[in-house]
Amino acid sequence: MEIDLRQLPHRRYNPLSGEWVLVSPQRALRPWQGQVERVIEARRPTYDPECYLCPRNLRANGESNPNYRHTFVFVNDFSALLPDTPRETLNEHPLLQAETMPGECRVICFSPRHDLTLAEMEIEDIRRVVDVWIEQTKELGNRFCWVQIFENKGELMGCSNPHPHGQVWALDAIPNEVLKEHRQQTKYYQENLRSLLLDYASVEQQRGERVVVENEYWLVVTPFWAIWPFETLLLPKIPLLRLTDLKKPHRWTLAEILKRLLIAYDRLFDISFPYSMGWHGAPFIEESVLGWQLHAHFYPPLLRSATVKKFMVGFEMLAEAQRDIPPEQAAQRLREGLPF
C-alpha cells in the first residue's frame, strides 16, 4: 500500500541528522484562507547615531567603528567564547563532566547602511559578504576545528540590533548539530562512496516539487524532512567541502541566489522576513571529511502570517518535531514570490 503523504499523518526521516519529524498534512489541506495581517514596519534611517554598528559610532567597549564603505568585521564586545580560556576538564563522575572551551566570536556588518537587509542589498555587495564569510572561515579554520557563520534576522529571532549583520563563532570542538551531520554524511559515504547531499540534490532536481529556486551552481529546496514551516536548504550542485572552496563563479551565483531567496521570503507575508541561517561545511579535523558537502540552513519562525509564529512546545519539546504545512506546499508558496 502506497502512503499518501498529502493526506495521512506520517513521519519523515532526516538522513542528515538521523532524526524523524511528524507531519500532519490533513490539518492544512484546505486552500490558503488565513487572514494576512498587514504589518507596517517603521522605515529605518540610512544612518543611526545611536547604533553601535553604524560607521564612526562608538561601541560598548569604547572603540569607534571606522568609516567603512562595504563590510566591517570586529571581535564581539560581548563574546560567548574567549580565546585565552585555558583548556581544563572536570571529570569528577561519569555523570558530571565539563570542559572549558576557548574560542572567538566576531560580528560581520554586511553594509554601512542601517536601513538595508541582505535581500535589499545589490548583488555585488552581497558577493562582498560572501567573500568575508570565506575569509573568516579560512582564517579561523587555521586555529579552530569548527567555524560557524550565521545570521539572526529580526526581533523574533532575538536580534538586538536591526543593522544588517551576522556573526562568526569559532571553537575547538564539533558542536552537537554538526556532529550529527558529520556522522550521517560519513556513514553514507562509507556505504555508497558518494555524497549524501549531492545524491539528495539530484533527487530533488528530478522531482521538482520541493525546489524553490536554482541557478548554474546552486539549488534551494524545502527539505523533505523540514521542521520549520518555510525552512530551506541551500546546496551547491557540485562537490564543495567548505566555503573556502568557492571560486569566483560560485561566489557570484551564490550572491544572486541568496538575493532571490530572501526576496521570496519577504514577499511571503509582505514583511522583512525573520530567520536564523547558517553555513555547515566540513570541520577542520584530521579524520576523513570526504562525505561532507557544503550547505546552508534557513530556519524562519513564521507559520501562517506576519504575526503567527511556529512554536516548539508540548509534543515537539517532549517527543519530536511536528509540522502541519507540507514542505511541498511551502516550496510552491515561496516560488510564487520569486523575483527575476
Q: What is the pLDDT along the chain (340 residues), one digit of tens a residue?
A: 677 888 899 999 999 999 999 999 988 655 555 455 566 677 899 999 999 999 999 998 899 999 999 999 999 999 999 999 999 999 989 999 999 999 999 999 999 999 999 999 999 999 999 999 999 999 999 999 999 999 999 988 888 899 999 999 999 999 999 999 999 999 999 999 999 999 999 999 999 999 999 999 999 999 999 999 999 999 999 999 999 999 999 999 999 999 999 999 999 999 999 999 999 999 999 999 999 999 999 999 998 888 888 989 999 999 999 999 999 999 999 999 999 8
- Residue-level pLDDT at 38: 62
Q: What whole-number distance in Å separates Cα of residue 323 and Cα of residue 24?
A: 6
Q: What whole-number distance in Å separates Cα of residue 112 and Cα of residue 191?
A: 48
- Residue-level pLDDT at 36: 55
Alpha helices (H) along the chain: 123-141, 176-192, 196-207, 248-268, 315-318, 327-335
- Residue-level pLDDT at 2: 74
Q: What whole-number distance in Å separates Cα of residue 86 and Cα of residue 103?
A: 10
Select which of 10, 70, 163, 165 is catalytic: 165
Query: What is the pTM assigned to this prediction?
Result: 0.95
Q: Which three cell numbers stand for residue 126?
A: 552581497
Q: Where are the domains of the chain?
A: 45-335
CB half-sphere exposure, 328, CA atoms < 13 A: 12
CATH class of the 45-335 domain in this structure: alpha beta
- Residue-level pLDDT at 1: 63
CA–CA–CA angle 129, 134, 140 (5° rounding)? 120
Burial 242-257 (b: 16+ CB within 10 A, else e): bbbbbeeebbbbbbbb
Strands (E), the chain: 10-14, 19-23, 72-75, 89-93, 96-99, 103-109, 146-153, 165-171, 211-214, 218-221, 232-236, 275-280, 295-299, 322-323
How many helices (H) and strands (E) would you count in the chain?
6, 14
- Residue 165 bears catalytic tag: yes
- Residue-level pLDDT at 119: 98
